[in-house]
A and B are shown apart, each in its own frame.
Chain A
Amino acid sequence: EPEVTQTPSHQVTQMGQEVILRCVPISNHLYFYWYRQILGQKVEFLVSFYNNEISEKSEIFDDQFSVERPDGSNFTLKIRSTKLEDSAMYFCASNPSGGQYYGYTFGSGTRLTVV
């Protein structure tokens, strides 16, 4: 079964540093998403991406965050100047067409710990 692959599985970084989280979506999927889940809290939408541009972003996704699809397969989330409160699980997801009627395939996540 096709998978969404995320690397690294765990990232520890010092406050103020930049991190890049990587994702390889399912190859024939067109819409890509980043969500985060702070420990014990709900899954929160960050950003959706289609056709090499952001289609929607949440209020969480401020200037500290950026996304990129540097090549035909990878989809990255960059977090600049990390803060303690950025510590969370970050999930990449994709779906075939981005329409309302498709659920997500999630990657296994990257646990980001900011110290």
Chain B
Amino acid sequence: QKEVEQNSGPLSVPEGAIASLNCTYSDRGSQSFFWYRQYSGKSPELIMSIYSNGDKEDGRFTAQLNKASQYVSLLIRDSQPSDSATYLCAVNTNAGKSTFGDGTTLTVKP
């Protein structure tokens, strides 16, 4: 079982729609969870972090965490073509070290 598993993708949504990206993790001791956006050929960019069960909203992005189900998700509202990228889920289990998922590639079609 992979430590951090994401939708295999690719995911395609029309402009203005909600994109939903999902991630599960195997270590119940995980405490902090991150979403990074990675454009092709670029480095990952931190867009959201979440530590407590429930929802956390930042602009068009909402992260959701359910520790009992070992599940974290990212919703992107009013998707724009500029949101087209690979989204990486990362989980911290030890101090500072992140384990990344394979990523889900999102395409937003105009």
A interface list, Cβ under 8 A from B: 31, 33, 41-45, 48, 50, 55-56, 89, 91, 95, 98-109
A-binding segment of B9-17, B39-47, B53-61, B65-73: B39-47
With A48-B97, A105-B46 known as contacts, the answer to whether A100 contacts B102 (CB < 8 A) is: no
- Would you call B62 an interface residue if the criterion is a C-beta within 8 Å of the partner chain's C-beta atoms? no
Interface size class of B (residues with CB under 8 A): 20 to 34
Contact of B32 among A91, A101, A106 (CB under 8 A): A101
B 24-52 binary contact with A (CB < 8 Å = 1; else 0): 00000001101010000011111001010
Q: Are A108 and B92 in contact (CB under 8 A)?
A: no
Q: 6 tightest CB-CB pairs across the interface, nearest first?
A: A98-B96, A103-B46, A106-B43, A43-B100, A100-B92, A103-B34
Q: Give every chain A residue within 8 A of B32 (Cβ-Cβ).
A: 100-101
With A42-B102, A42-B103 known as contacts, the answer to whether A100 contacts B46 (CB < 8 A) is: no
B 79-107 binary contact with A (CB < 8 Å = 1; else 0): 00000000010101111111111110000
Q: Give every chain A residue within 8 A of B43 (Cβ-Cβ).
A: 89, 91, 106-109
Cβ-Cβ contact count across A and B, 8 Å cutoff: 64
Q: Give every chain A residue within 8 A of B94 (Cβ-Cβ).
A: 56, 100
Least CB distance, B26 to chain A, in whole angstroms: 15
With A91-B43, A108-B42 known as contacts, the answer to whether A103 contacts B49 (CB < 8 A) is: yes
With A56-B97, A98-B95 known as contacts, the answer to whether A43 contacts B45 (CB < 8 A) is: no
Least CB distance, A48 to chain B, in whole angstroms: 6
Closest residue on chain B to residue A50 by CB atoms: B96
Q: Are A55 and B46 in contact (CB under 8 A)?
A: no
Q: Are A104 and B98 in contact (CB under 8 A)?
A: yes
Q: Are B95 and A100 in contact (CB under 8 A)?
A: yes
